[in-house]
Amino acid sequence: MPEQSIEKLKSLIKDIKYCMLATWTTSKLGEKYIHSRPMNVLWKEDALAEQKLYLFSSKDSWKNKEIGQNHEVNLAFSDPNNQTYVSLACTCYCDDSNRELMKELWNPYCEIYFPKGVNDPNLCLLVCDIHHAEYWDVKQGSMMSLITSYIKAGLGIKEPISQEHEKVVLQNI
């Protein structure tokens, strides 16, 4: 992935502490659907250059069962104050052996969910290998401005929309 794209993604999501992790699950009736939940993002300085992001999870959690059945996940980031939105398509797996990396990634927010600390035997690291990224960076200051521009366009009033949108392929899968 080009260095410029990595830096752009990093600038958009580096200050966001939580993302939405979406996994595939199956209902009791056998219907597949997407299940999302908020997750605390664990930042490692060179993570995006490595095309990885990390999350802590309990080994016996429902989300880990879902990931075990389908490793493809989505991480969605939202910063409404700055009107930036990022979607990362990832291949995810659980690593419960890399305690050194877990110690490096540990932060005070983690104790809310894992009061036993980094040595909790049920703690695992969800490693998200990013293969596609997409972002929207709205420059006009609000989604309302963007919506207004779309309405004007529908009425035949031409007005440029000041936003940046890019799809970035990180890996061929």
Q: What pLDDT score was predicted for residue 126?
A: 98
Kindly tell me if the per-residue pLDDT of 148 is higher than 90: no
Reported for 109-118, long-range contacts at CB under 8 A and 24+ positions apart, including other chains, are 109/17, 109/40, 110/40, 110/42, 110/56, 113/40, 113/56, 114/56, 114/58
Residue 151 reports pLDDT greater than 70: no
Q: Is the dihedral of CA 102, 23, 63, 173 positive or negative?
A: negative
Which H or E run contains 79?
Answer: strand 72-79
Q: pTM of the prediction?
A: 0.80
The answer to whether the beta carbons of residues 123 and 56 sit under 8 Å apart is yes
Summarize the confidence of residues 63-76 as an average pLDDT: 97
Amino acid 50: pLDDT: 85
Domains and CATH numbers, the chain: 3-169 (2.30.110.10)
Give residue 83's pLDDT: 87
Short-list 103, 117, 112, 122, CA closest to 54: 103
Whole-number average pLDDT of the chain: 85
Give the range among 100-104, 119-123, 162-166 with minimum mean pLDDT: 162-166
Instruction: Give the least confident one: 30-34, 69-73, 144-148.
Output: 144-148
Residue 96 reports pLDDT greater than 90: yes
